[in-house]
Chain A
């Protein structure tokens, strides 16, 4: 599992940077640097379906702070692979939400300080693991075949008391409900799913203009999330009626 994940991430990095990159794997964390079109890019992320717990979140935010201090405005490639938040007594005792919030706050600060952060979901990203990382990026994409979800369909079915078969059926037509990168793309939750031309995709992503948050409007344009943009705008304007 661990080796497969690392190998697959290395393969992706090779297809992106050729030989012009170096990363270190330290347990579930990976960090390093690459050169893309002659420009240095920081590489940071997690592998092996990492559960995001207090130690890992803290190690990631350490790297984000170092990048901000040592390499102002350098673009960051953020490899997003996780199984959600780490679930257990110790991490909750320590206040994992505080560690996760700090990590996403650091990424957000980097973005505001001019770092282009391109998140790329590799293999799997779940709920709070996605919130900690990919959702705080400038834009987040998914590699072809990667999975994004809030919860496994079996667990959703059990908790919502909807038979699995019906849930799967509903998920095909309802982008806001069921798992899958395609659904997240339709609601504007990710900017896109990358084709095999990852160099072209990355180049395009790096050249996207900075926007504070394009997700709601994208969801409308793609027809997957029709109401959030209009409702948020109405509240921003202080309206009594939609």
Chain B
């Protein structure tokens, strides 16, 4: 049985990722911890403020888990939503799980709570780093309809590991923002193929921004996540130097590229135009050999 990760909601994703009946939610919908700010702007609020947080197990191993609900305000981060994420990461310092799983599905800051949303981004990022410095693995999953944009994309890249499906996207600025500011000649937001190959997760995998591309299937996400439980990337000075070198090398190597297909060709992919058609397994076997690996 396969269940599309893209099509399903936050709770179903969590249920599919965790061992059966292992999930316990914190401040769930019955707690009704809702945005106090949306009603004043005549906007509907949600009982969980668009994020599900809690704990459970994967193959019996304890994990903390959060899933953004893309169906509510595009998964955007407001005061309550952000605080639930920060609190969950800080809980990791107390209970020391085998990993914290963050299921991103978000356009970034919730504009209706702009300042609180932005500061929450910084608080979440700091909590991710505190968790990592404590040696606890933080794993990001991307494959929802809203992609992973704005400050959420920066939080995602602060995690130890990133797993995603080719339906996922990862970028700071969204296509419409680039087009509005720089014009359609710079970036045509209606050109889906362009959006996909610039921000899509196959490209991100090939340049080393994410670690694994999986099928759009909740079980495939679960199987991939298992490989990263209890594993961390160092944050020592040497590790940060290695990351610096990795990012510098990318600019040196691809500074004159204006399209992802040029980058893929330079990586040694014979038919870059065919990359979009490759199924996740075939793609992964190519990526394992040719993609740049983040240190």
Contact = CB atoms under 8 A, between A and B. Distances in A.
Contact of A225 (B41, B79, B177, B182): B79
Nearest to A99: B247
Contacts of A112: 129, 133
A136 B250 contact: no
Nearest to B185: A89
B30 to A, nearest CB: 8
A186 B254 CA distance: 44
Contact of B83 (A62, A127, A216): A216
A239 B263 CA distance: 48
B111 interface: yes
Nearest to A190: B119
Contacts of B95: 238
A183 B115 contact: yes
Q: How large is the interface on A (under 10, 10 to 19, 20 to 34, 35 or more residues)?
A: 35 or more
B275 interface: no
A236 interface: yes
A128 B154 contact: yes
B256 to A, nearest CB: 10
What interface size band does chain B fall in?
35 or more
A212 B158 CA distance: 17
A23 interface: no
A174 interface: yes
Interface in A157-172: 159-160, 162, 170
A88 B178 contact: yes
A104 B235 CA distance: 12
Interface stretch (B120-128, B211-219, B279-287): B120-128
Chain B interface helix/strand/loop/mixed: helix
A242 B31 CA distance: 7
B156 A109 contact: no
A213 B123 contact: yes
A150 B87 contact: no
Given A99-B247, A105-B240, A235 B173 contact: no
B55 interface: yes
The 5 closest A-B pairs by CB, nearest first: A235-B87, A135-B122, A232-B87, A101-B157, A97-B153
19 contacts: A58-B244, A58-B247, A58-B251, A93-B259, A97-B170, A100-B157, A100-B172, A101-B157, A101-B158, A108-B125, A127-B118, A135-B122, A174-B40, A189-B115, A213-B123, A228-B79, A228-B80, A235-B87, A236-B91
Interface of B: 25-28, 30-31, 33, 36-37, 40-41, 53, 55, 79-80, 82-84, 86-88, 90-91, 94-95, 109, 111-123, 125-127, 129-130, 133, 150-151, 153-158, 170-173, 177-178, 181-182, 186-187, 198-199, 203-204, 207, 209, 235, 237, 240-241, 243-244, 247-248, 250-251, 254, 257-260, 263
